[in-house]
A and B are shown apart, each in its own frame.
Chain A
C-alpha cells in the first residue's frame, strides 16, 4: 500500500514557494524555450552577433530542413518507434529528384514539368521508403530500430550507386534555376523554406493535437492493446507515422538540394543524431505516448543556437561535438528529473 499524494508531508514553509516555482518551471511546456532564452542571454555578452538579423536568418535557414525531419521523427517516436532511415531518404530523394530535373542528361531536362515532376519523385521516394518501414513493422512484426537501420543502409548505398548512372562526379548538379530559387526566394520577406516549414509545423501540430488521428497516435504509443480494444486501427496508425516521417524527409531533401544546388547522395548525412537529439531535448519520450510538435521546435532551436553560437565563438567542430553531447545528456537528465516530479506530484 502506498501513501496517497494528498497526505504528502509539506515542505518547510520558507522553501515552498521557491521550490514550487522551480518545479512549475521545470514542468512547464515551454521549459526548453525558456532554456533557449536563458542561453541567448548568457551567451550574448560574448557573441552579440547572435541577435543580428544575419545570424538569425542563418539559424533559420539551417533550422528548416532539420526541423521538418524532426517533425516527422516526432510522430514515429510517439508511437514508440524510431526512424533511422531519414538521412538515407534525404540522400535518395535528393539524387532521384536531381536526376529528373538536372539540365545535364536529366530524365526531363529542360521540360516545363521537370521541376514539379522532380518534386513528386522526391516525395514518392520518401513515401515509398516510409511504406517499406511501416509495412515491415506492422505486417512483419519487426522492431522499427532494425527495419530502419536496414533501409538506411540500403538506400544510403543505393543513392551513391544511383549517382554513378547519372553523373561522372559524386553528385548531380545543374539543377534548374526555378528549383534552386526555392532556397533563395522569399514571399513577403519570409523565405520560402521558412514558410513551408512553418506550414508543415502548423499542419503537424493540428494533426497531432486536434484530430482523431492525433489521439490515435498517442494511444497507440502509450498502450497498443488498449488502443485496439477502443477501436483504434493500430496498424494503420503506425503505418501512417512512418509515411509522414518519410514525406518529411523528402521535403528536407528538397531544401538541401535547392540550397546546395545539387543532388548529393550525402545530403543530410550527419543529421540523424542531431534530429533524434533535438526531439528528445524537446521532451518527446523514446518510449512512446508522449511528445509535441512545439517541443520539437524548441529542441531544434536550442540545438542550433548552441551550434551557431559555438561557431561564432570560433569553436572548432570538436568543441561543438563535446558541447552538443553534454547538452543532450543534461537535457535528458533534466527530463528524467521532470518525470519523477510529475509522478510524485
Chain B
C-alpha cells in the first residue's frame, strides 16, 4: 500500500532548547498510526509542525510523495490535513450545516446570500457518511459530545481531508459513543484516508491503530505494527523503565474505623441505591467509564450535586443535605477532574490558591488575614509538594505545568487535613514524574490515617494504588474487588456493565 505521509528527521528547537530530535514516522493510506508518549515527549510539537503552526528546524515531510512544508494552518488544511482536537471547534449556537460551511459558504449565484439548498444537500450527504441521523438544520447545542465529534469529522470530510489527526478523541465520550467513533474511523480507513491517532488510552490505541510509534523526550523510542507489540511494552517504551516502579509501596494496612459510609444514595437519572464504606487508611478505587456516574457520585458526596435519597456519614456523623462548605467542615476534600475550570483560579498566585479553602487558619488578630502567614504556609506546602518553584507569592498558577498545578490543588486540600479525600482523575494530563509525586502524596495521606476515594480512567493506576476497587456503571455499583483478587478483565467487564449485571438486579 502507498505511503501517504512520510516524516523524516524532524527536529525543532525553541530558544536553544531542542524538543524534537530527528523524529520520523510514516502513515500508510487507509491505515491508522498510533502516536503515544508522555506529555512533553514531542507529540504536540510534531503535530503543530504537521498542522503548520510551527516550522521545523530540520527534517522533511512528504505528503503523497510531494514535499510538504506548511507555513500556516490554512496551508495544512488546503493540503488535506484535518485535526480533531479534544476540545471541539464548533459553534453550539449555529446549526450543523452552518458549522460545516462557516468559513466557506457557497453564494447564490452573484447574490451575496448563502445558497441554503446547496449546503443542506451537501450536509445531508456528509452526515450520512458519518452515520449521524440528524437534520442539517439541527443546532449543534442539541448534540451530545460524541455527535459533535462526528460533525467535526464530517467537516474534515467536507474539506477533502486525506489525513485526519485525532487528539485524545475519547476522553469525553461514553462507551457506546467510543464504539461508534471507532466504526467511523474504520470506514474512513476503508476510503483510503490516513489516520494519526494520539491518545493516553492505550487500549483504544491498540483497538484502532495498525502501527504504533512511541515518542519519549523528543526521540522515537520505538515503532512497531500492532501485532508485534503489547500495552506493557508500549508503557515501558514511554517511560523508559518497567511499570512496577511507578507505584510506591505503602507501609500501612487499612484500619477498622469507618471514615465514609454511604447507603442507599439515589438520584433519578443519575444514581441508584449506591452504598459502600471506606475505612481509615484505605484507598478505594472507583472504576467506571466516562458517563458511568463516577464523577457525579463524587460531586454528590461533596455537596455539589443534589441527591433524592440516601445517607452519607463521615466518621459516623450523618452529613445532611451537604454543601461544599458543610462537607468540608466534616472533613471531606475534593480534587475535581476539571483542574483548569474548577480546581484552580488560574489568575491567582500559588499562595492565594493554596489558602483559598482554609482561610481562617491564616487569620491573625481580629480575624484579619495575615499575608506573612499565607506566604509561610504556602511556601511550606510548596516544599512538601516538591513544587518546581519557591516563588509562591509571585507565580500565577496559570504559568505552572499541569503537574505542578495539580500539586497546588492537592496542597490546597491537604492544608485542611482531610479525613476523606476524593480524587477525581488526579493524574489526567500530567507527566510520569508528577504522577509519581501524586502517588507518593496519596500514600502519605493514608499512612496518616485518612481515607481516599480514587476515581481514574486508568485501570493500571487503580490497580497500583487501591486497597479495594468498586466498579460503577449507569449510576449503579456493579462490583467490588479486594486487592488480593484484582483482575483487569473482570474489573473492566464489571465497569462496562456487561455480564448483564444491571439488568439482572433491576
Which residue of chain A has its CB nearest to the CB of B398?
A343
B336, CB-defined interface residue at 8 Å: yes
Pairwise interchain contact B341-A225, C-beta atoms closer than 8 A:
yes
B367, CB-defined interface residue at 8 Å: yes
Partner of A229, one of B15, B336, B359, B369: B336
Interface residues of A in 275-331 (CB under 8 A from B): 289-290
Pairwise interchain contact A222-B16, C-beta atoms closer than 8 A:
no
- Chain B, residues 352-371, CB within 8 Å of chain A (1/0): the string is 10011101100100011100
B502, CB-defined interface residue at 8 Å: no
Count of chain A residues near B, Cβ 8 A? 29
Q: Which of B243-251, B283-291, B342-350, B472-480 contacts A (4 or more CB under 8 A)?
A: B342-350
Pairwise interchain contact B345-A223, C-beta atoms closer than 8 A:
yes
Pairwise interchain contact A1-B14, C-beta atoms closer than 8 A:
yes
B412, CB-defined interface residue at 8 Å: yes
Pairwise interchain contact A231-B328, C-beta atoms closer than 8 A:
yes
Pairwise interchain contact A231-B368, C-beta atoms closer than 8 A:
no
Contact status of A230 and B357, CB under 8 A, knowing A1-B44, A211-B368: yes
B166, CB-defined interface residue at 8 Å: no
Pairwise interchain contact A231-B14, C-beta atoms closer than 8 A:
no
A16, CB-defined interface residue at 8 Å: no
Partner of A7, one of B15, B341, B360: B15
Pairwise interchain contact B369-A219, C-beta atoms closer than 8 A:
no
Count of chain B residues near A, Cβ 8 A? 37
Pairwise interchain contact A212-B363, C-beta atoms closer than 8 A:
yes
- Residues of chain B lying within 8 A (CB to CB) of residue A45: none
Contact status of A210 and B356, CB under 8 A, knowing A7-B15, A229-B324: no
Pairwise interchain contact A233-B343, C-beta atoms closer than 8 A:
no
CB distance from B155 to the nearest CB of A (A): 25
CB distance from B280 to the nearest CB of A (A): 23
CB distance from B123 to the nearest CB of A (A): 34
B48, CB-defined interface residue at 8 Å: yes
Task: Give the dominant DSSP class at A's interface.
Answer: helix
Pairwise interchain contact A219-B14, C-beta atoms closer than 8 A:
no
Which residue of chain B has its CB nearest to the CB of A289?
B347
A24, CB-defined interface residue at 8 Å: no
Contact status of A215 and B369, CB under 8 A, knowing A1-B45, A229-B334, A289-B347: yes
Pairwise interchain contact B343-A226, C-beta atoms closer than 8 A:
yes
- Chain A, residues 185-217, CB within 8 Å of chain B (1/0): the string is 000000000000000000000100111101100
Interface residues of A in 37-89 (CB under 8 A from B): none
B17, CB-defined interface residue at 8 Å: yes
- Between A4, A7, A223, A290, the greatest number of chain B beta carbons within 10 A of the residue's beta carbon is seen for A223
Pairwise interchain contact A5-B341, C-beta atoms closer than 8 A:
no
CB distance from B188 to the nearest CB of A (A): 28
Pairwise interchain contact B14-A226, C-beta atoms closer than 8 A:
no
Partner of A219, one of B324, B343, B345: B345
User: CA of A5 to CA of B412 in the docked complex: distance in angstroms?
Assistant: 26
CB distance from A284 to the nearest CB of B (A): 14
Pairwise interchain contact B368-A206, C-beta atoms closer than 8 A:
yes
Contact status of A219 and B356, CB under 8 A, knowing A229-B304, A231-B328: yes
Partner of B14, one of A3, A5, A228: A3
Pairwise interchain contact A226-B44, C-beta atoms closer than 8 A:
no
Pairwise interchain contact A212-B360, C-beta atoms closer than 8 A:
yes
- Residues of chain B lying within 8 A (CB to CB) of residue A212: 359-360, 363, 367, 369
Pairwise interchain contact A7-B347, C-beta atoms closer than 8 A:
no
Pairwise interchain contact A229-B343, C-beta atoms closer than 8 A:
yes
CB distance from B34 to the nearest CB of A (A): 21
Which residue of chain A has its CB nearest to the CB of B14?
A3
- Between A215, A223, A230, the greatest number of chain B beta carbons within 10 A of the residue's beta carbon is seen for A230
User: CA of A210 to CA of B368 in the docked complex: distance in angstroms?
Assistant: 5
Which residue of chain B has its CB nearest to the CB of A285?
B347
B325, CB-defined interface residue at 8 Å: yes
User: CA of A233 to CA of B357 in the docked complex: distance in angstroms?
Assistant: 11
Beyond A4-B15, A225-B342, list 9 extra A-B contacts (CB 8 Å): A1-B19, A1-B45, A212-B367, A215-B369, A227-B356, A230-B357, A231-B324, A232-B356, A289-B347
A-B contact pairs, 20 of them (CB 8 A): A7-B14, A206-B368, A211-B367, A211-B368, A211-B369, A212-B360, A214-B369, A215-B352, A218-B348, A222-B347, A223-B347, A226-B341, A226-B344, A227-B356, A229-B324, A230-B356, A231-B324, A231-B357, A233-B325, A290-B347
Residues on B lying within 8 angstroms of A by beta carbon are 14-17, 19, 44-45, 48, 54, 302, 304, 324-325, 328, 334, 336, 338, 341-348, 352, 355-357, 359-360, 363, 367-369, 399, 412
Q: Which 5 A-B pairs have the closest CB atoms?
A: A7-B15, A212-B359, A210-B368, A230-B357, A230-B356
